Amino acid sequence: MERVGTTIAWFALIVVIAFLLLPIVVVIPVSFTEATVFRFPPQGFSLQWYEKVRNVEALLSSLWLSTQIAALSTVISLLLGTLCAIALVRGRVPGGTAIATFMTAPLMLPGLVLGIAMLQALREVGLRDAWWSLLLAHVVITMPFVMRTVLSSLSLFDFSMVDAARTLGCSYPLALWRVLVPNILPGFISGALFAFVASFDNYPVSIFLVDVRTKTLPIQLLNYLEISPDPTLAAVSTLLIGLTILVLIVCDRLVGVRRMAAI
Amino acid sequence: MSVSAAAPPASSLSAARAALPQLPRRLDPLALLALPALLFMAVVFLMPLLLLLWASVRAEGGFSLAGYVRVLGDSYYIGVIGNSLRLGLVTAFGALLLGYPAAFALARARGYAQAILFALVFLPLTVSIIVKSFGWGIVLRRDGILNWLLINLGLIERPLRMLFTEESLYAGMINVFLPFMVLPIYSVVRMLDPRLSEAAATLGASPLFRFLRITLPLSLPGVVAGLSIVFSLAVAAYVTPSLLMGDRYMTMSMVMAKAFLNLRDWQLGSAMAAVLLALAVAVVVGAGLLQRRLARHGQ
Amino acid sequence: MTTMPSLAVEATAPARTSAPEHLVVSGATKRFGAVTVLDDLSISVAKGEFVSLLGPSGCGKTTLLRCVAGLLRLDRGRILVAGAEITRLPAHKRNIGVVFQNYALFPHLTVAENLGFGLRAQGVSRAEAAPRVAEALALVRMTEHADKPVTALSGGQQQRVAVARALAVRPSLLLLDEPFSALDRKLREVMQVELKHLLREVGITAIFVTHDQEEALVVSDRIAVMNAGRIEQLADPATLYGRPASLYVLDFVGQSTRLTGQVMESAEGEVTVDTPLGRVRAPGLFLSGSQVVVAVRPEAMMLDGVAAGMPPSAGINRLTTRIREVSFLGSRTLLHLEVPDSGTTVNRALIELPRLPEGASPGNPVTVAFRAADTMVFPAS
C-alpha cells in the first residue's frame, strides 16, 4: 500500500515536469525550421530566423529597454529594500509587521490593477514619459521580491557574529562588511534575480505604460505575434530560454538553486 | 559641560533638561532607514490604488456608483466575473490534483536527484509567460506536436481542433501556474516530522490511515497557500487567456484592458479593477485566517 | 571471584526464573552501507521484565529498537514475540508500542484524540474507544487535560501522554527510546521512578534505550551494555557494577580508580601488578609480563592514616599519592588523586568518602587502602 502511494507520487512528478517543460521545449526545434509556419515536426534546418532576429530593430531596442528597466529597478529596490529590512529587523519600528506586509503587497494584487492605477495616477500628475513611468512602476513590482528574501536572510542572521567580530578587533562597519554581507549575499542575489525576472517578464503593468516608441520586450513580442507570426518568435524565445538557463547556472554556482527557492 | 564645575542646584538642572528638545522616546534612529522605501511605496503604490478606487465612484456630476451598477448589474459582466472565477477555480484545483502528489515525490527525493528535479520544476517559472503561451499554441495547433503524436500513435485519424477551446485554456493555465502549487506544498511536506508517521504505524495504523489522518491534515497549510496563490493569479490572468482564447473567453482582466486601452471607458475599467482588487484582498485575508486556524493546532 | 576475559558475554539469567521468554532476538545483523550497525546480536527478555540497552551513540541501540518495532528491516536474524515470529511483519501489524525520544505526539490532535488514535486506527468505534481513552488518561493522571492540544503541555506532561498513548492499544511489548532525555534533571529523576512504577502496575514488558548509565541502573531489571553492534554484558545492575565483564563495561557504569600496569607475579589465582602508584595484589589469571588495568570502585577505597611506605600486607593494598582535587557532592565527597601520566591510557584514582576529612585539600599527601578482594583486573586492550 505504501508502495502504491510512492509510485503515484513519482509518476505525478514525472508528468508534472514533462508537462511543464513541454511548451518550452517545443519552441526550440521550431526555431530551426525552414518553413514559414509553426508546423511540428519542423521541416528542414535553417538559421534564417535567428538572422532575422538580428535584423529586427524593434526587437533589439525593446530587449535593451527591458534590460535597462529591469536592472535599474532591481538596483533601486535593493537599495531601498535593504535599508528598510535592516530597520525592520534591527530597529524598533512601530507597526513593523504591517510595514513588511505593505512592502510585499504588490505581489498579492493583480498586476493589471496596478498598471491601471499607475496609468491614471501618472496622467493626473502629468508624467507622460514612458521610460520614467516604467521605471517607477517596475520598482514597485520588484520591491516585494527583494523585501521577502532580504528580510528572511536578515532575520535568520545571528547578529552576535557581528559582536564577536567587534570583540576580535573589527570596527562596526568593517564587521558588517566582513561578517554580515557574505552571509546575506545569497538572499541578496536570489532576491535580485527574482526581481530582475519579474520585471523583465512583466506584461500586465507595462502594457499600460508603454507608448508607440517605447516598448518592453514582452509587449513587443506579443505585437509581433499579432502582426506577423512567423518562427522568428520561436528564435527569440529560444534565445531567451538559453539566457535563462545560463543565468540559472550562474546562480547555482554562486548561491545554489535550492537555497534560492527555499523562501 | 565642564567636569570640574560644581554641581548646579537641582531645580535649575531639571529646568534645563525640560528646555531641551525631546525625541519621542520610542523613535529608534535605526527606524529612519525604513523611511525612503516607505515613502516611495506610499506615493507610487498606495496613492494610485486609492486614486483608482476614487475614480471608480466618480462621474460627471460627482459621487456615483454607476460603474459598479454596470459591472455588477449587467448580465454580460456578471458572466465575465463568472468566467474569471471559474478559470481561477479550475486552474487552482487542477493544479492541486497534479501538484500535490508531485510535491510529495519532490520532498522525498534526496541529494543530487532532488536538486535536479527541483530545478526542473523551478526553471519554467523563469521562462517568459509569452514564450510559454506561444509554445502551448504550437503544441495544440492542428499541425502541432500533440496532434502529430496522436495521429502517429493511431489514436485518431484527423487532427483535432484543440486551440481556442476552453479545455486547452485550462490546460495552458495549469501549465503556467503549476509551480506555484508545487512549491508551497513541497516546503510544508519537507518539514513534516517522519517520526509522526512512524508513531502512527506503531499504534497499528495502516499506510492509508496514516496518510488520511496524519500526513494529509498536516500538509493542509501548504495546500491552502498553494490554492490561494494559484487562484489569485489565475483569476487575474490576462496574457494566457488572451493568447489562447482571445475574445471568446472574456475575463475581468481582459474587460479592464479593453476598457482602458481601447474604449477609454475609465468608469467601467476602474469599477472592474476595484472588484478584482476586492476579490484579491478577500482571498489573501481568507487564506491568512485559515492558515492561522490551522497553525493553532500547532505545527 | 574471578573475572572473565572480556570477549565472553557474561549474561545472568532473566530475573524471574520460571517466566517464559517474551521477546527473543537472535542473530540480528543490520548494515548501513559499509557500516555494520548490528553485529549478530542476540538477546531475550522475559515477560514483565525491564531491560535497558545502554551504550554511547552509534553503538546500535536505537537501531535495534527500531528493528524490533518494525521501522527497520534486519538484514539477517529473527525476532519472536511470545513465540510468534514477527521478523517480516510491517510495524503496524506488530502490536509493539513505542515511546519516541521527542514523543512524536500528533500536533493537530488533542490529548484525548492522541490517546484514542491507535484504537481508531484498529477500527474501534468512537463510542467503544471512549472508556478506554478515559482509562488511559486516568492511568497517567491527565484526565483534566483531555481536550487540550498537545502543544500546550509541558515536557513532563507530554511524556506521560506519549506513554499512555502507546499503552492504550494494549501492546505486547513497550519500547522506549531515551524517554527522559528531553526532561531537565530534577524532573527526570522523578519521572524515572514514576514510570517504572506505572509500567510495573500495568505488568508490561519494557525495553529502554539510553546512554545515561544512572537512568539504566534506576529503571532496569537487567541492562545490556552495547558496544559497536554487540552486547558486551547483559546482567542485573548489581552484577554489572560489581563484576563488569570488561573495561568497556567498567568505564560505562559508575566511576572507578583505573591504573595500567604490568603483571609481576602470578600464582594461585592471584596476581601482583606494578602500577604507577605502587604494587597492587588482586585475584586474576594472567601470565607474568602481561599488560593489565587494575580497577577499584571509589567507595571500596579507605583512608589509611598510618605511615606510608609499609609493604602491602596480606589482603590489603596501599597506595600513596597526593590529593589533586576535592569534589563536594552533598551526600558524599570525592577526592581525586594524583597519578603519574602514563602516556596514552587514562589513569585515575578516586576515593569516595561520606564526609570531607580534616586536612584534605589539594596538594596534601594521602595514603589510600583497599582490599585485594575488591580489586578488579582486566587485560589492557
Out of C251, C284, C319, a domain closes at C251
Out of C227, C251, C275, a domain closes at C251
Structural element, H or E, at residue B50: helix B47-56
Residue C136 lies in a domain: no
- Output the average pLDDT for chain C: 87
pLDDT at B271: 84
Given a cut of 80, whether residue C18 has pLDDT beyond it is no
Q: Are residues C84 and C193 in the same domain?
A: yes
Contacting partners of chain A (3+ CB pairs under 8 A): B
Task: Give pTM, 2 decimals.
Answer: 0.80
Q: Are residues C40 and C184 in the same domain?
A: yes
Given a cut of 70, whether residue B14 has pLDDT beyond it is no
Give the number of beta-carbon pairs within 8 Å between A and B.
Answer: 278
> In B, which residues are within 8 Å of C70 by CB distance?
201-202
Q: Are residues C320 and C347 in the same domain?
A: yes
Characterize the bridge pairing of strands C50-54 and C35-46.
unpaired
pLDDT at A214: 84
Give me the average pLDDT of each 10-residue run along chain A (263 residues): 84 93 86 73 76 77 90 93 85 80 84 86 85 92 88 83 87 82 81 87 86 84 76 81 80 64 47
pLDDT at C7: 37
Given a cut of 60, whether residue C21 has pLDDT beyond it is yes
CB B197 within 8 A of CB B215: yes
B183-192, C263-272, C297-306: least confidently modelled range: C297-306
pLDDT at C3: 41
| Angstroms from A247 CA to nearest CA on chain B | 10
CB A188 within 8 A of CB A262: no
- Output the average pLDDT for chain B: 83
User: Does A12 contact chain B (CB < 8 Å)?
Assistant: yes
Test C122 with B204 for CB contact under 8 angstroms.
yes
pLDDT category at B216 given cuts 50, 70, 90 is very high
Q: Give me the domain span that covers residue C192.
A: 10-95+172-251
> In B, which residues are within 8 Å of A41 by CB distance?
145, 148
User: Does B226 contact chain A (CB < 8 Å)?
Assistant: no
Residue C113 lies in a domain: no
Per-residue pLDDT, averaged over B130-158, amounts to 79
Residue of A2, A3, A16, A102 to mutate, interface with B, max B Cβ within 10 Å: A16
- Name which of B32, B47, B125 is nearest A121 (Cβ-Cβ): B47
Domains of chain A in sequence order: 56-261 (1.10.3720.10)
C7-16, C34-43, C270-279: least confidently modelled range: C7-16
> In C, which residues are within 8 Å of B221 by CB distance?
none
* Residues in B lying within 8 Å of C, measured between beta carbons: 193, 195-196, 198-207, 209-210, 213-214, 217-218, 296-299
> In B, which residues are within 8 Å of A80 by CB distance?
36-37, 40
Query: Per-domain residue ranges for chain B?
Result: 61-123+167-296
Grid cell at residue B267: 468608469
> In B, which residues are within 8 Å of A241 by CB distance?
127, 131
Most confident segment among A53-62, B275-284, C37-46: C37-46
- Residues of chain B with pLDDT > 90, as a percent, come to 26
- Name which of C71, C106, C150 is nearest B214 (Cβ-Cβ): C106
Query: DSSP string spanning C137-165?
Result: HHHTT-GGGTTSBGGGS-HHHHHHHHHHH
pLDDT at C313: 56
> In B, which residues are within 8 Å of A17 by CB distance?
102, 117, 120-121
pLDDT at C39: 93
> In C, which residues are within 8 Å of B297 by CB distance?
107-109, 149, 151
Q: Are residues C179 and C310 in the same domain?
A: no
pLDDT category at C199 given cuts 50, 70, 90 is very high
Residue C154 lies in a domain: no
Given a cut of 90, whether residue B54 has pLDDT beyond it is no
- Name which of A121, A244, A258 is nearest B127 (Cβ-Cβ): A244
Q: Are residues C217 and C273 in the same domain?
A: no
Characterize the bridge pairing of strands C173-177 and C206-210.
parallel
Per-residue pLDDT, averaged over C222-243, amounts to 93
Given a cut of 70, whether residue C5 has pLDDT beyond it is no
B97-116 residues touching A, CB cutoff 8 A: 98-102, 104-106, 108, 114-115
Residue C22 lies in a domain: yes
Number of domains in chain C: 2
Our CA angle for C91, C96, C97, nearest 5°, is 110
CB C379 within 8 A of CB C5: yes
Residue C132 lies in a domain: no
pLDDT at B298: 52
CATH entry 1.10.3720.10 includes domain B61-123+167-296:
yes
* Rounded Cα distance, B81 and C70, in Å: 55
| Angstroms from B165 CA to nearest CA on chain A | 17
Most confident segment among A112-121, B29-38, B45-54, C220-229: C220-229
User: Does B43 contact chain A (CB < 8 Å)?
Assistant: no
- Name which of B199, B204, B296 is nearest C100 (Cβ-Cβ): B199
Per-residue pLDDT, averaged over C311-321, amounts to 74
* Residues in C lying within 8 Å of B, measured between beta carbons: 69-71, 90-98, 100, 102, 104, 106-109, 117-118, 120-122, 149-151, 165-166, 169
Per-residue pLDDT, averaged over B230-258, amounts to 88
pLDDT per residue as tens digits for the range C108-166: 999 999 999 999 998 899 899 999 999 999 999 999 999 999 988 998 999 999 999 99
- In the block, which residue shows the cell 513590482? A141
The one-letter amino acid code at B262 reads N
Test C166 with B204 for CB contact under 8 angstroms.
no
Q: Residue ranges of the alpha helices (H) in chain C?
A: 61-69, 111-121, 126-139, 155-168, 185-202, 213-219, 237-242, 247-252
Residue C338 lies in a domain: yes
CB C135 within 8 A of CB C201: no
pLDDT at C245: 92
From the number of C-beta atoms within 10 Å of its C-beta (0-12, 13-18, 19+), residue C296 rates as buried
pLDDT at C234: 95
Q: Are residues C187 and C303 in the same domain?
A: no
Residue of A8, A21, A88, A120 to mutate, interface with B, max B Cβ within 10 Å: A120
Q: Residue ranges of the alpha helices (H) in chain A?
A: 2-30, 48-55, 57-90, 96-108, 111-125, 130-156, 160-167, 172-175, 181-200, 206-209, 217-227, 232-254, 257-261
* Rounded Cα distance, A141 and A158, in Å: 29
* Rounded Cα distance, B41 and A146, in Å: 14
C16-20, C27-31, C198-202: least confidently modelled range: C16-20
Q: Are residues C68 and C200 in the same domain?
A: yes
Out of C201, C221, C251, a domain closes at C251
Give me the phi and psi of A36, to 5 degrees please.
-95, 15
Higher pLDDT, C15 or C8: C15
> In A, which residues are within 8 Å of B126 by CB distance?
197, 244, 247-248
User: Does B54 contact chain A (CB < 8 Å)?
Assistant: no
> In B, which residues are within 8 Å of A245 by CB distance?
123
Residue of A nearest to B145 (CA): A40
